[in-house]
Amino acid sequence: MAAVFGTLWIPCLILSVLGIALLVAELFLPGFGVTGSFGVVCLIAVCVMQFMTNKPLVAVLVTAVLGLIVITMVILFMRSMKNGLLFRSPIVLKDKIEAEAVRLSSGSLEDLIGQTGTAETPLRPSGIAVIAGKRYSVETEATFIDKGSEITVISVDGTKITVR
């Protein structure tokens, strides 16, 4: 084997396996791409070491095979992010916040003081309440209020609505 791949075939094999393993790990580990970057560095080192063996045909072949492996992994990653295992993992956020869920008003909320409503979610101490037929994000005075309980607006500070 040393005659075909040169004297660096064992380090090249180790770095190839390590580089591919690091790229696969990057698919499943949350982070900033450090693992994948080290994987790419390992694969580039393999290509450089192959060109140092004075066997250009083998070096080009190894580089092409590693390039195909990386391209295949990128395609698999993109497909998996779209509808595969990675999309179903807890790393990917799938919940949507609807515009009607929390009312953010540019107008004054001062007219709500003294009005009553119903806690739509448990207020522990914050949550959603329906006041005058509209949903608002509200807070209590550090007490817990069960879902469905009647509440009264006691103060408004900007967009912070305090209820009791």
**Using one digit for the tens of pLDDT, what is the confidence trace for 89-139?**
555 555 666 655 555 555 578 888 899 999 999 998 899 999 988 899 999
Tokens of 132: 């005058």
Cα separation, 129 vs 139, whole angstroms: 9
22 closest CA partner among 60, 85, 31: 31
CA 161 to chain centre: 32
Name the phi and psi angles at 85, rounded to 5: -60, -40
**Using one digit for the tens of pLDDT, what is the confidence trace for 13-49?**
899 899 888 888 877 776 677 888 898 899 888 888 8
| pTM score above 0.85 | no
Residue partners of 16: CB distance under 8 A and separation at least 6: 42, 43, 46, 66
Cα separation, 139 vs 145, whole angstroms: 10
Q: What is the pLDDT of residue 137?
A: 92
